[in-house]
């Protein structure tokens, strides 16, 4: 019997995209949720394939950035023994997400990748539209 692939809502991905260090990214725990895997599987993919994640593909959070992010996002909270994960999150840029898609291969990963690509494309389109409107208003 074929496993049914969960539909990925654009709004779920749109809410997961955050801006950090001047880049639009999705943090590892949100990527894992979207891909339907555990966060540690996402991070294992990075560890086992470092050549696929050169500079600019992923961002590592500092302790200060992690603390700041925790105050903004509840997705970093973990239930169980500790309130938060003991590791600082990793953030994936759009390029990093494309590379992750080459590693995490499943019907759910394929659906997630398509939804993520669409979300980033819509975000770029929106940014261009806002820039044009701003230029037109100033001109």
Q: Would 30 be classed as within a structural domain?
A: yes
Residue 113 has pLDDT above 80, yes or no: no
Q: Would 3 be classed as within a structural domain?
A: no
CB distance 94 to 120 below 8 Å:
yes
Grouping H, G, I as helix, E, B as strand and the rest as coil, residue 17 is: strand
Q: Would 69 be classed as within a structural domain?
A: yes
Q: Would 42 be classed as within a structural domain?
A: yes
Query: How far, in whole angstroms, is CA 17 from its chain's centroid?
Result: 6
Write out the H or E segment, with its range, that includes residue 129.
helix 107-138
Beta carbons within 10 angstroms of residue 137's beta carbon = 7
Q: pLDDT tens, 46-91?
A: 999 999 999 999 998 888 888 777 766 654 444 444 445 678 899 9
**Calpha distance 13→34 (Å, rounded):** 8
- What is the pTM assigned to this prediction? 0.69
CB distance 96 to 27 below 8 Å:
no
Beta carbons within 10 angstroms of residue 25's beta carbon = 23
Q: In what order do the strands lie in the sheet with 58-60?
A: 17-20, 23-27, 90-92, 58-60
Q: Would 2 be classed as within a structural domain?
A: no
Domain that holds residue 56: 10-138
Strands 23-27 and 58-60, bridge-based pairing: unpaired
pLDDT band of 43, cuts 50, 70, 90 = very high
Report the range of poorest mean pLDDT among 21-25, 94-98, 117-121: 117-121
* Counted domains in the chain: 1
Grouping H, G, I as helix, E, B as strand and the rest as coil, residue 59 is: strand
């Amino acid at each position: 019997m074929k496993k049914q692939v969960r539909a990925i809502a654009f709004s779920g991905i749109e809410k997961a995209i955050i801006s950090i260090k001047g880049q639009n990214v999705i943090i590892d725990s949100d990527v894992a949720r979207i891909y339907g895997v555990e966060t540690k599987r996402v991070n294992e993919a990075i560890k086992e394939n470092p050549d696929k994640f050169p500079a600019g593909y992923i961002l590592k959070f500092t302790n200060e950035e992690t603390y700041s992010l925790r105050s903004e996002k509840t997705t970093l909270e973990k239930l169980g023994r500790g309130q938060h994960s003991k590791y600082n999150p990793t953030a994936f840029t759009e390029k990093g997400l494309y590379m992750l898609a080459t590693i995490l291969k499943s019907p759910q990963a394929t659906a997630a990748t398509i939804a993520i690509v669409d979300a980033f494309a819509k975000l770029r389109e929106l940014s261009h539209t806002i820039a044009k409107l701003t230029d037109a208003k100033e001109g």
